[in-house]
Amino acid sequence: MKAVAVAVLLAAALLGCGGDDESTGGPSFVADIRPAIEAVDAELGPGQEFFEITANELVTNLFVAIDGATAAVPFVYLDGELQPPAPTLTGASGFTFSADDLDFDADTVLDSVSEELTESTIEAFSIEGGAGGVVRYVVSTLSPEGGRLDVTVSPDGTILAVDPL
């Protein structure tokens, strides 16, 4: 699922490069997640389950679980609008979550990572379903030297784990 998410994220980033160059200049892209979920709920009905949601400066990607979480419908939220869905991904599996499960603070969730990795760039913020209904929040970073880290954080941004990629 992660490889598919990366492929869709890259494709969506390329779509975003053709429009206005209104970079947020910072981590405010996290604030697009809830409006993106609301747009999916408006399109498909409330109470959707997600495998993953990933936001970056250009887009927010949402992977909606369907058919008993055996397939996923990828959506891209771009410039405040939900784009038509990409083709359904069959054979999906994994844990899911709903909007009601999310308890992160969009204003603070990236603060600790920004403070601890002052020279690194925050590239994305991801939300993933976990075992037992746990929701995992991951901040992806890039150092000036090219090193990449996935930093798992709590809903308030406290750093829980750091994984080099």
Same domain, 50 and 85: yes
What tens digit of pLDDT does each residue of 90-138 get? 999 999 999 999 999 999 999 999 999 999 999 999 999 999 989 999 9
Query: Are 54 and 37 spatial neighbours (Cβ–Cβ below 8 Å)?
Result: no
Distance CA 9, CA 119 (A): 24
Distance CA 157, CA 18 (A): 32
Q: Which of 66, 55, 67, 57 is nearest to 19 (CA)?
A: 57
What tens digit of pLDDT does each residue of 39-87 get? 999 999 999 999 999 999 999 999 999 999 999 999 999 999 999 999 9
Same domain, 73 and 118: no
Helix, strand and coil in the chain, % to nearest 5:
25, 35, 40
pTM higher than the cut 0.75: yes
The CATH number linked to 109 is 3.30.505
**What pLDDT is recorded for position 108?**
93
Containing structural domain, residue 60: 2-100
Domain count for the chain: 2
